[in-house]
Amino acid sequence: MPSKSLKKFEKSLIVDVERIIETHRQINHQGLGRRGLGHITRSGVLMLCAAWEMYVEEILKESVHYFAGKLDHPNELPKAVQKELSRAVKESKHELKPLELAGEGWKSLYHNHASEVLSGLNTPKSGNLDPLFTRFLGINKLSNSWSCQASEINDFVSVRGDIAHTGSEASYVTINNLKTYKTLVEKIVLEIDNYIAEHLRDSTPGQEMPWRRRLNN
């Protein structure tokens, strides 16, 4: 069984993209060129990038929850995560913030700090994701686990940004473009899911893998 985040991605988040692709096929079943269907493919890109962003947020939160549930003390967290929580306490303007680390309080601090930082994520490119997964999970450059170049995901996210900011004036997205982006995102999501499962297991000695790896199709 994969992570809860992957199950949500496949059974909910990606479904609208699949429906958009099917709608395009039904309208353009004779394959007669663009036929003014750019609004459909642009919508597909927006929905696909939303699914991608939601997945990376959900898998990070799920992993934080796993660490908090399996570890008894914050000094068992990866060093990078310990430093992040320490920094968050030191930089807080609340003079009683250090008290949150007492007892089980570090777990709430860990959850809340991760959620707060993730709420500011709106451009899920590798340059933004890699530091987040280092700070909160201790993963050194998540994008190294991808079989594609990070630039491929970054370019896809840039296309989403172009559409979001310029609408119909954005570069035309063909249905094949959309299908290629979908295949890319699905592949990277699965690679992330598998990689993080191993990372969590290796970071919690004596524990089994939190979810099963799944082979790429």
Give the pLDDT confidence score for residue 102 in this predicted structure.
Answer: 60
pTM here is 0.92
pLDDT for the residue numbered 125: 98
pLDDT less than 50: residues of the chain: 99
pLDDT in the model for residue 27: 87
Q: Is the dihedral of CA 28, 31, 35, 40 positive or negative?
A: positive
At residue 47, the pLDDT reads 97
DSSP letters, 163-174, are: HHHHGGGSPP--
Angle formed by the axes of helices 38-70 and 105-118, nearest 10°: 170
